[in-house]
Chain A
């Protein structure tokens, strides 16, 4: 048995050379040490007989996402940053590349096309033909606003042969408020947005929805990305007049799961900080810093000291939870912030104190029980008076707390103190030295603001690349770097490094404007290509479409699917913002909680017809329709969702009560808009669901289905069926079509 001596680490752990030879009392302290935020991959060294599962030719379970052509090397020996570390592509400064020469493309005006064609032509390939006008406008609608175009919008675009028709569509969509709703959701995946804490009580996070609205607003305003980042990291520390949005933005720090009854509240505090570290580094920098919590990073040049230097920027945030011993739930720290200037808040507090003090003085003086009761009631009333300003889920800063390196991540084994500092490997790579955030606590720049300024430097090698890659990913189905949250050695290298640098430099040069980047990408010939695969030569040469000889077809995400069902049925409620909507769910779904229905009260029907981004995100209770279609995980930063195809999805779309409700409304809409003539209704159904007319065969198939349904429904009830009984199943079938779910 490896556990020869109770209370000590198994001997096998010491085979790993990066683990210092130590012996820890496992009973109390070692237990906490293993609360490493990431399950670190120690297997190669521990089990040298096994293949390194991250190597290019690996054969082990779960390896497909590991890089194919850049085998990360396990770092050995004492930590030191080498020239090879600094030479890693993602740590190099972004240099705007010269346009490559490409042959025979006189119509090409967009540099994106030049970068792609250069690589295609080297393989003897070229772009696919353009997508049809209908495919193209559908693609743009789904990409930019996440909703299908109306049949009329498609017809108008198909008929518009002017040179600027396409550009007008792009401008129109970028100007719609639904653009922000669509793109905010991508962001919410990254910051693991949820409105409850998870764990035993899964209690609501106060005012979390304001953060969701803030993100939507920011995208719609085309807020410069550097400002957007800075607000989330340090909105409360930004100079300038009071800005409610900058406060709301710091809700970013409060979105993590939170255990209100932890085994050890100090360890839990560092778990929360680690969660923030992981989200910050993955979201803004595309790095997996969390690996360095207990030891130096195994693959990337990130030392444990780097981890704690970075953590020091966040160390003085007032913790989410109060210290705690014993059983039962605990209270939260100062996790909200008033949405008013300090002077206004202070004035309000003074006014309330002014009312309370005399009452309390009277209370202290009285001996009369009746008076006492009266006074207590009065005090209660004053205390309950709502402030004349709102609050947001946000950070509040404590006085500076020192940060120490925690030996093996164990909160009970603090080591050397560290000052806030940026990742060493990047400090030199971004040519000029980092600002003086390394300086001590008397630094005139607040800590998180210093971090925000560093991350949003125009010459930061990661920030613009990471975001440009995300934008590209959501327009082409995959990023130029296929691992959007990992630009390090365990991630993938870009298929088009020059194009990525071009986009990153354009993003910065435009003043960090995302709408500019969208338009640049959508105007490219590449974006407008067909996604069809009927090109045998290209398929042979590049089946995976690494070179982008065609567009990638994409499956609508869960939100787009649900929004589309509502839109096609004619029931979509486009009201924006505000507290979240609670959809009606089957009671079986509620019963999976330890207290069925806890914290859930169904919203009025009209509210339930709102866009999916406004549905409440309760960690213990994700609506099955969304869950089944690969909704975000809500606990970790998600850079790209999976897209699985499984039978329960079919069951969901065939039988679920929400889908049936929409199918019924869709049927009523057909009757309303197309009259009683069957063929007219079928045409309208195709127009609304698919934005095209049915073919002859499709019309025949639809009519046959309706005839059978009529016969079955008549037999069923023994009398002529209602139109709804006949048309609802037909409409449900239309809502199930691949053509509706997959974007060409």
Chain B
């Protein structure tokens, strides 16, 4: 029995697909817990048979909005790591090599800065050296030398476009499909559609840049009109990883056990007088689960369990560069390594932000004031960690089961910006009309490049795809059909991909 008349239990239209893959290490780990975000049965916690009592079992199975659910279609990918380059990384200086732009440096062209602002502007060639890499011969600039060595794992989409020139609405759209605040984030959609694989950890985890959160903050990982249970949990990589995970000052684990024992005794007596009110049993169970996860969550984040070689691989020992705004590769490296540990444990969706604090400065990928300086700050911060993540996932046999997505809220312009910089050149303004994402891992065709911008890299022209197609593709790779994944609110079956039909980008599917 639910207290909430409007609670929606996700069901799957074609839900006969078995939720079973050949045994993997991860599968074992998935089954090894119960209950961070919801409530579920568990063998490990059931020393005293508590969870097996019929009333408890019934309450748990009925009450868990995050019980693992079969996907719409059987897929390899079970988890997704979304590497969000907040501020808008420059495709023109990283992956989208444009010989014509390189030749036409300094020429004046008509350009649209922001919506409906036509001006003359000066083309700015990339100061980066571009080379083809690997078997695939895909282009990557010298800003990301480590990642270039993993390029055969990547599938690029270089022809994306979206609907907003401004950070606030563009970041929201990348996360929730809508430029309007108040809609569920893609991680919330996945939690809703697929449930959690490990009930001892949040199913949707967000890690922020040490310089701050992204523009608009928490609404970017909100569950919108869905219950709060589907929203993202911010995981800190230093200090207390999750809010309220530690007993209060002066308390100890034994004391907390003592406190919970009293709560349990009184709650059981209360529930005994209210048979049939299963919510009470669910809440009693939640205290046991809370007690357990105070131990399990820190374990998942304990990087001392990793070898020195792994620390080295992810750049955790690397010094930060000279620029005062850089934090070096260690923070993002730690987050990537934690992301690997989380997906190993069955966390469904991990989002890591690179770049943080107010947009407009060089603390994010928002390179108005000089793209070279911006790359000097940010490219080394992510280069080694992402390369490490890809090779580490592969080495552990996890890359097939993990979808890795890289990109920002938009790309940047081929012309030198003077719009926001008081006439200073060398920077690039926002560009939602043509930008690049790459995907890697489960179900992705490695070593391909799909779609093209025009010869200057200003606007998607060949196989141009709206970002809702990217969302549809991410859902597809995770086993979800963007048509079928709906949530009833406001008289409508709402979808991540919105009102217009979206189409999976088949060109990047294996």
Judge whether B486 and A41 touch: CB under 8 Å. yes
Q: Which of B3-11, B93-101, B142-150, B308-316 contacts A (4 or more CB under 8 A)?
A: B3-11
Judge whether B357 and A594 touch: CB under 8 Å. yes
**Does A588 sit at the interface, judged by CB under 8 A?**
yes
A29-68 near B? 1/0 per residue, CB < 8 Å: 0011011111111110011001101100001111111100
A531-564 near B? 1/0 per residue, CB < 8 Å: 0111000010001100000001111000000000
B198-230 near A? 1/0 per residue, CB < 8 Å: 000000000010001111111100001101110
Within 8 A of B (CB), among A472-500: 477-479, 482-483, 485-486, 488, 490-491
* A62 in contact with B213 given A628-B228, A736-B263 (CB within 8 Å): no
Instruction: Give the size category of A's interface with B.
Output: 35 or more
* A633 in contact with B182 given A40-B499, A43-B483 (CB within 8 Å): yes
Q: Which of A82-90, A232-240, A257-265 contacts B (4 or more CB under 8 A)?
A: A257-265
B366 to chain A minimum Cβ distance, whole angstroms, is 11
B12-42 near A? 1/0 per residue, CB < 8 Å: 1101000000000000000000011111000
Within 8 A of B (CB), among A446-495: 477-479, 482-483, 485-486, 488, 490-491
Judge whether A200 and B501 touch: CB under 8 Å. no
Judge whether A655 and B6 touch: CB under 8 Å. no
Within 8 A of B (CB), among A690-708: 695, 697-698, 701-702, 704-705, 708
**Considering the chains assembled together, what is the distance between the CA atoms of A39 and B117 in angstroms?**
29
Within 8 A of B (CB), among A140-179: none
A586 to chain B minimum Cβ distance, whole angstroms, is 6
Judge whether B3 and A660 touch: CB under 8 Å. no
Judge whether B4 and A640 touch: CB under 8 Å. yes
List A contacts of B58 (CB < 8 A).
none
A34 to chain B minimum Cβ distance, whole angstroms, is 5
**Does B463 sit at the interface, judged by CB under 8 A?**
yes
Judge whether A64 and B492 touch: CB under 8 Å. no
Judge whether A34 and B488 touch: CB under 8 Å. no
Judge whether B495 and A39 touch: CB under 8 Å. yes
**Considering the chains assembled together, what is the distance between the CA atoms of A458 and B465 in angstroms?**
52
Judge whether B165 and A655 touch: CB under 8 Å. no
List B contacts of A6 (CB < 8 A).
460-462, 464
* A648 in contact with B36 given A38-B494, A198-B181, A490-B492 (CB within 8 Å): yes
Q: What is A's interface to B at a CB cutoff of 8 Å? A: 1-3, 6-7, 9-10, 12-13, 26-27, 31-32, 34-43, 46-47, 50-51, 53-54, 59-66, 198-202, 257, 259-264, 271, 278, 282, 288, 290-291, 294, 299-300, 325-328, 477-479, 482-483, 485-486, 488, 490-491, 532-534, 539, 543-544, 552-555, 586, 588-589, 591-596, 619-622, 624, 627-628, 630-631, 633-636, 640-652, 654-657, 660, 695, 697-698, 701-702, 704-705, 708-709, 712-713, 716, 725, 729-730, 732-733, 736-739, 741-742, 744
A281 to chain B minimum Cβ distance, whole angstroms, is 10
List A contacts of B122 (CB < 8 A).
none
Judge whether B179 and A35 touch: CB under 8 Å. yes
Judge whether A63 and B35 touch: CB under 8 Å. no
Judge whether B252 and A38 touch: CB under 8 Å. no
List A contacts of B243 (CB < 8 A).
586, 588-589, 624, 648, 651-652, 656
B44-66 near A? 1/0 per residue, CB < 8 Å: 00000000000000000001010
Judge whether B499 and A39 touch: CB under 8 Å. yes
Closest residue to A38 on the B side, CB-wise?
Answer: B492
**Considering the chains assembled together, what is the distance between the CA atoms of A544 and B276 in angstroms?**
11
List A contacts of B37 (CB < 8 A).
646-648
Cross-chain contact of A34 among B234, B260, B275, B500 (Cβ < 8 A): B500
Within 8 A of A (CB), among B458-509: 459-466, 483-495, 498-501, 503, 506-507
Q: What are 9 inter-chain pairs, A to B, with CB distance below 8 A?
A: A2-B501, A7-B464, A10-B501, A59-B11, A477-B3, A594-B217, A645-B279, A701-B266, A739-B267
Closest residue to B211 on the A side, CB-wise?
Answer: A594
A258 to chain B minimum Cβ distance, whole angstroms, is 9
B210 to chain A minimum Cβ distance, whole angstroms, is 9
**Does B289 sit at the interface, judged by CB under 8 A?**
yes
List A contacts of B63 (CB < 8 A).
645
List A contacts of B217 (CB < 8 A).
202, 592-594, 620-621
A463 to chain B minimum Cβ distance, whole angstroms, is 18
Judge whether A657 and B258 touch: CB under 8 Å. no
Judge whether A62 and B493 touch: CB under 8 Å. yes
* A655 in contact with B488 given A34-B500, A645-B279 (CB within 8 Å): no
* A712 in contact with B254 given A53-B486, A596-B212, A739-B270 (CB within 8 Å): yes
Judge whether A655 and B246 touch: CB under 8 Å. yes
Judge whether B193 and A620 touch: CB under 8 Å. no
List B contacts of A42 (CB < 8 A).
499, 501
List A contacts of B166 (CB < 8 A).
200, 259, 261-263, 327
B471 to chain A minimum Cβ distance, whole angstroms, is 12
* A259 in contact with B168 given A64-B7, A553-B3, A644-B228 (CB within 8 Å): yes
Q: Which of B280-288, B327-335, B441-449 contacts A (4 or more CB under 8 A)?
A: B280-288
Closest residue to B497 on the A side, CB-wise?
Answer: A39
B297-309 near A? 1/0 per residue, CB < 8 Å: 0000000000000
Judge whether A588 and B236 touch: CB under 8 Å. yes
A487 to chain B minimum Cβ distance, whole angstroms, is 10
**Considering the chains assembled together, what is the distance between the CA atoms of A9 and B305 in angstroms?**
52
**Does B192 sit at the interface, judged by CB under 8 A?**
yes
**Considering the chains assembled together, what is the distance between the CA atoms of A43 and B502 in angstroms?**
11
Given A47-B483, A624-B244, A642-B7, 12 other A-B residues pairs in contact with their CB atoms under 8 A: A36-B498, A38-B492, A50-B13, A63-B11, A479-B5, A593-B213, A593-B217, A619-B181, A640-B5, A648-B242, A652-B244, A737-B267
Judge whether A263 and B10 touch: CB under 8 Å. no
Judge whether B216 and A34 touch: CB under 8 Å. no
Judge whether A654 and B259 touch: CB under 8 Å. yes
B243 to chain A minimum Cβ distance, whole angstroms, is 6
Judge whether B255 and A729 touch: CB under 8 Å. yes
Closest residue to A642 on the B side, CB-wise?
Answer: B227
List B contacts of A326 (CB < 8 A).
113-114, 117, 419
Cross-chain contact of A271 among B180, B247, B267 (Cβ < 8 A): B180
**Considering the chains assembled together, what is the distance between the CA atoms of A589 and B464 in angstroms?**
39
Closest residue to B464 on the A side, CB-wise?
Answer: A6
A356 to chain B minimum Cβ distance, whole angstroms, is 33
Judge whether A705 and B258 touch: CB under 8 Å. yes
List B contacts of A621 (CB < 8 A).
217-218
Closest 9 CB pairs of A and B: A635-B182, A288-B491, A200-B168, A533-B276, A650-B290, A263-B164, A655-B244, A642-B227, A199-B168
A193 to chain B minimum Cβ distance, whole angstroms, is 14
A727 to chain B minimum Cβ distance, whole angstroms, is 12
Judge whether A299 and B483 touch: CB under 8 Å. no
**Considering the chains assembled together, what is the distance between the CA atoms of A624 and B246 in angstroms?**
15
Judge whether A53 and B493 touch: CB under 8 Å. yes
* A594 in contact with B212 given A64-B7, A588-B239, A729-B259 (CB within 8 Å): yes
Cross-chain contact of A200 among B167, B250, B266 (Cβ < 8 A): B167
Cross-chain contact of A62 among B8, B164, B254, B259 (Cβ < 8 A): B8
Of the listed residues A646, A655, A738, the one surrounded by the most CB atoms of chain B closer than 10 A to its CB is A646
Cross-chain contact of A660 among B208, B248, B356 (Cβ < 8 A): B248
Cross-chain contact of B163 among A34, A655, A713 (Cβ < 8 A): A34
B455 to chain A minimum Cβ distance, whole angstroms, is 15
**Considering the chains assembled together, what is the distance between the CA atoms of A635 and B490 in angstroms?**
12
* A644 in contact with B227 given A42-B501, A64-B7, A738-B280 (CB within 8 Å): yes
* A633 in contact with B492 given A35-B179, A650-B286, A730-B262 (CB within 8 Å): no
* A594 in contact with B358 given A61-B484, A263-B166 (CB within 8 Å): yes
Judge whether A594 and B267 touch: CB under 8 Å. no
* A705 in contact with B491 given A42-B501, A199-B181, A648-B37 (CB within 8 Å): no
Judge whether B266 and A739 touch: CB under 8 Å. yes
**Considering the chains assembled together, what is the distance between the CA atoms of A63 and B7 in angstroms?**
10
**Considering the chains assembled together, what is the distance between the CA atoms of A28 and B501 in angstroms?**
18
A685 to chain B minimum Cβ distance, whole angstroms, is 11
